[in-house]
Each structure stands twice: as structure tokens, then as C-alpha cells.
Structure 1
Amino acid sequence: MTTERPVADAYSVTAERPVGIDELLERVRADLDRVEARAAHDAARAGDALLVDIRYAALRERDGLIPGALVVERNELEWRLDPQGSHRAPEATSHDLRVVVVCNEGYASSLAAVSLRQLGLHRATDLVGGFQAWRTAGLPVDTAGP
């Protein structure tokens, strides 16, 4: 007997007992192998992970970019990362792709990673603490304007 819960169950909510966002985050994170900033940096440098920055433009302009990260606004994420999609990014090569989703502080990215898993990207996860943790860890940030 397996104790593994299907990804879709993480979002399951019944009319009898609605859940709040804190419980929903706890549920979805239980199924993610979330990564710390240094590990995400090392995996991206080794070619074992694609960092995907879903922060909105104002935050990217204010704080800078992670060099080499694919920028995809949250509302386009599934369309751009679905390896079978007609609007996929060139980097969306396979369902085996390890995607590390980066938001500003590591909350929205957890929900986004589960959405990618529902598309079959079974190695999708997110960055603990988001971009702010990356910057705090002293990892590279490109602050040069376009």
C-alpha cells in the first residue's frame, strides 16, 4: 500500500471543510522537494535545473534578475512550460525537466510548481524563500537595465 498522494489531491477541498491558504500551502509543499538557494544555484550551473522566475515586472525591475533564469510571468507559466504545448518556451523540452520556480518570497512558487506537476512535469519544485532568499544568500543578481 502506498502513502503517496496524487498531485491533484493537494488542491482537493470539499464543501464540508474549506481550507485556508496556509493549509493549502502545507498540503502542496508536502509533495514538493523544495530547494534552498545555494542548491538551486548549483543545480542550474550544473545543467540539472531550469530556474523559472515568475515575479512580475515591477519586482524584477526593482530587485534585478537571476542570471540565466527563464522569465515567465505567472499567468503564462503553464503555457510556456508544457512540453506538449503550442506556446512552449524552447527550454520546455521534456516532462523530465527539473524546473525550480522562483517567486519573490517562496509562496506563489509552491502553488505554481504543483500546477506544473499537474501538467506532468514531475520534477517541478520551487525555491524556498524565493528571490529574496537567493539575494540574501549572496548569489548572482543582474541589476543592469535592459
Structure 2
Amino acid sequence: MKKNYKFSALVAGIVLGFFACQDPDLEVVPEWETAVNTFASLQTGSSANFLNGNPSTPINLNFRWISIDGKNTVNRIEFFILFNEGYVDVDGNPKTARHGGDEGILFKTIEGAAVPGNRTDVALSVTQAEIFDLYKDKTFNYCGTTESVFN
């Protein structure tokens, strides 16, 4: 019995000493940097997808930038359109054609006084015809055969 009591006291002392000796200066607490985030949503009544055979039907979006802590301002907004296409290569493997690269192609820029304030919506519309104009001259190498994107 005395042996169990001594063992329990020893374990309790070690555990208590382990937790009592923490140095709060050694804890890594990151200094969070300030940043700008974005949020976009479809406008009410807007089509979520392009309609086949109707190139003039737009997709209407509301876009806003947000500086949560208010320390940042935005003086330029660039909208890029990324156009990816799935295809199957000669070996039967699924592949993705990234026609605009990893970044996409610049679609629209808002600068200076035209940039809205923090948490203010910007209306943006995109049509099939505008995307066609951006990518009409692009080509892609499909397994050794270079073809126009809209071939």
C-alpha cells in the first residue's frame, strides 16, 4: 500500500511539474498579417450557366472586396477568366486543357475612382461572346496535334 502511495505521489509530482513549468514566451503565436479577401455571388435571376446556342445571355455577378480589419484599401481590381476543358488523351487517360494557363486571361480591370469601397458590390456581366473573343486565337496541343480552342 505504501509502495502504491509513493508511486502515485511520484507520478502526480512529475505530471504537476511538467505542466507547471510551461514558459508562455516559448509558445508560438503567429502575428497575423492584414489582408484583402473577395466574395462573389450570382445576381438574383441570373443564369448560372451559359445556354447553348444563345451567346448573348450573360451571367451576372456581384463582386466585393473585404478588408476585415479596415487597414487595407484596393486601388485596382483585375478579373481573369480561366477556361479549362476536359478531354481524353490517346491512351484513354482523362486530361485537362488549361487554355488560359494557370492564371487565365485578363477580362476586365477596374482602377482608381471606379474601384468601390470596402464591402461594396460591383456588378459584373460575362457573355459567351466575350469569352469567345478572349480565346478565339488560342490553340492547344492535344496529344501532338495543335488545334484551335473553338475548333
TM-score band w.r.t. shorter chain:
under 0.3
Which structure: greater strand fraction? 2
- Name the larger-Rg structure: 2
TM-score (norm 2): 0.23
TM-score (norm 1): 0.23
Q: Identify which of structures 1 and 2 has the higher relative contact order when contacts are C-alpha pairs closer than 8 Å and 6+ apart.
A: 1
Which structure: greater helix fraction? 1
